[in-house]
């Protein structure tokens, strides 16, 4: 089974989606399950994990509603305010849905480099662990020091790093990111998504050869048992198309065993989220 471990839905709103700047104008429109079903039929994808794109409870409810209507959505990574002392009430409500599998905060947008380590946030993460929810880590490379301390704090919590921590592929920066990712990967409760790569390269001039060493590092560090394929659709459309994103990964892992390829392309997502 092929599972896309990372994609988004939205009704486009210029205020709510202000992060979609002029260089990303191609995705300034609605993206809904009917659009994705056509893409998946073309590319042989069996289902997806839908990930929040807005930091509101309404966003999580929106994704739950879509999942109730579309079987291709196998799980949801939603948002709750993990710093809220009463967050347990929201977590209990979403636990009852059976479709919300985990949560995410857009930490990459936080000015505090140590946001993940603040006591109120750590208290919220502890409540995820109590309820068997996963947590998606969305950060930039300069925040990986905090990530390392963060994952050490919760050795029994399942974490997955989104988009390989967004390495600076366009600029060719590698060593600092690589050092930190190796250290984080030593913690076996942490997984990593092979996703979001072409949008960290030059939108118009990226190549597979440019990205390959970043994928190599992730595969060597996390292993085939802890890597997940994700498209980051529709964000990926600013730098290419779905077929290119899928082929980038499938070509790169083609020399692995069939079992390892199947794990990366879907079985690991089922194990992690479902």
Is 270 in a helix, a strand, or coil? helix
Rounded to two decimals, the pTM is 0.98
What topology is assigned to 3-273 in CATH?
TIM Barrel (3.20.20)
- Give the start-to-end residue ranges of the domains of the chain: 3-273
CA atoms within 13 A on the CB side of 149: 11
**pLDDT tens-digit series, residues 161-216:** 999 999 999 999 999 999 999 999 999 999 999 999 999 999 999 999 999 999 99
If pLDDT is split at 50, 70 and 90, which confidence band does 61 have? very high
Beta-bridge partners for 193: 228
Band (248; pLDDT cuts 50, 70, 90): very high
pLDDT score for 235: 98
The Cα 57–Cα 55 span in angstroms is 7
Of 156, 157, 159, the closest CA to residue 184 belongs to 159
The answer to whether the CB of 77 falls within 8 A of the CB of 104 is yes
Q: In what order do the strands lie in the sheet with 100-105?
A: 3-7, 47-51, 73-78, 100-105, 134-137, 159-161, 190-194, 227-229
pLDDT at residue number 180: 98
- Looking at every residue in the chain, the average pLDDT score rounds to 97
Mean pLDDT of all residues in 36-52: 97
Q: Are 245 and 232 in contact (CB under 8 A)?
A: yes
pLDDT in the model for residue 178: 98
């Amino acid at each position: 089974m092929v599972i896309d471990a990372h994609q988004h839905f939205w009704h486009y709103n210029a205020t709510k989606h202000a992060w979609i700047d002029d260089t990303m104008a191609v995705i300034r429109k609605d993206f809904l399950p009917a659009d994705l079903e056509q893409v998946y039929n073309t590319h042989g994808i069996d289902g997806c994990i839908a990930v929040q794109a807005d930091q509101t409870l309404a966003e999580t409810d929106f994704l739950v509603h879509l999942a109730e209507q579309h079987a291709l959505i196998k799980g949801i990574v939603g948002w709750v305010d993990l710093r809220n002392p009463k967050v347990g009430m929201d977590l209990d409500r979403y636990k009852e849905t059976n479709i919300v599998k985990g949560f995410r905060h857009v930490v990459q947008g936080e000015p505090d480099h140590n946001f993940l380590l603040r006591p109120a946030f750590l208290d919220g993460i502890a409540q995820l662990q109590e309820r068997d929810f996963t947590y998606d880590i969305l950060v930039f490379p300069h925040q990986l020091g905090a990530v390392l301390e963060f994952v050490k704090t919760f050795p029994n919590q399942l974490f997955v790093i989104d988009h390989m921590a967004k390495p600076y592929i366009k600029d060719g920066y590698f060593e600092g990111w690589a050092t930190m990712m190796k250290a984080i990967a030593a913690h076996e409760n942490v997984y990593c998504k092979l996703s979001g790569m072409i949008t960290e390269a030059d939108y118009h001039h990226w190549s597979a050869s440019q990205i390959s060493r970043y994928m190599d590092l992730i595969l060597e560090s996390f292993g085939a048992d802890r890597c997940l394929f994700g498209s980051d659709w529709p964000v990926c459309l600013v730098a290419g198309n779905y077929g290119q994103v899928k082929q980038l990964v499938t070509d790169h892992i083609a020399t692995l065993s069939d079992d390892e390829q199947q794990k990366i392309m879907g079985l690991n997502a089922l194990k992690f989220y479902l």
